[in-house]
Amino acid sequence: MRHALLVILLSFASATCFATAQIPDTLLFLGETAPIYSAPLLPIAKDKQYYSRIRPFLGEGTCSASWHGFRANWSIERDQLILLSIQSEPCSDSPKAIPLGAIFIGRTAPLIADWYTGRVILPRGEILKHDLFSGRHLYERYRVFQIERGLVVSNEELSQLPP
């Protein structure tokens, strides 16, 4: 009986727990910069070799809105996903630039994201509502870029956030 009551109480508690929304990466597309629902730099940041190069530029602590301690800024140009810059301490009033050449030895910005294969989701239009569960706004539409090794192989505009 006690076990069943504990399970019931925990299920109600977990339904009301929310994590802090994360500061998103940004994408410059058609002259506008907007947050994206993707993180193309994370595969690199999870690699120990690259993370050891990123780590010295990160602040002492991280804020709950930036667990990995940085924010990347991207663009889509000539059907390529381009890394423009990385900033450490994105929660602070004055984020610091991380030099790309220190992470990607021998390469400089702008940098084709040739390590990334996946989707880049760009919200478009008016905000329809705020989704408390995900911490994201729900928009009128979404531009979805399918990326293969840094190259845009397709893009489409959708009226709903893709799964």
In sequence order, what are the beta bridge partners of 132?
none
Q: Which two tokens stand for residue 146?
A: 């399918």
Distance between CA 117 and CA 106 in Å, rounded?
22
pLDDT 10s digits, 129-139: 776 666 667 77
Please list, in sequence order, all residues whose beta carbon lies within 8 angstroms of the beta carbon of residue 162, skipping any fewer than 6 positions away: 119, 121, 142, 144
CA 89 to centroid of chain Cα atoms = 14
Q: Which of 109, 120, 125 has the alpha carbon at shortest distance from 144?
A: 120
Answer with the residue of higher pLDDT: 53 or 10.
53
**CB of 133 within 8 A of CB of 161?**
no
Coil vs helix vs strand at 118? strand
pLDDT value, residue 133:
62
Q: Which residues pair with 81 in a beta bridge?
A: 76
Predicted local confidence at residue 24, as pLDDT: 82
Pairing of strands 96-98, 80-88: antiparallel
Say whether pLDDT at 3 is over 60: no
Greatest alpha-carbon pair distance for the chain in Å reads 64
Which residues on neighbouring strands pair with residue 155, listed in sequence order? 145
What is the per-residue burial (b if ≥16 Cβ within 10 Å, else e) of 95-107?
Answer: beebebeebbeee
pLDDT category at 149 given cuts 50, 70, 90 is very high
* pLDDT single digits (tens) 26-39: 899 999 999 888 88
Expressed in angstroms, the distance from the first to the final Cα of the chain is 39
pLDDT digits (tens, 9 = 90+) for 68-121: 667 789 999 999 999 998 887 655 677 788 888 888 888 887 899 999 999 999
Asked if 40 and 116 touch (Cβ cutoff 8 Å), the reply is yes
Judge whether residue 128 has pLDDT over 70: yes
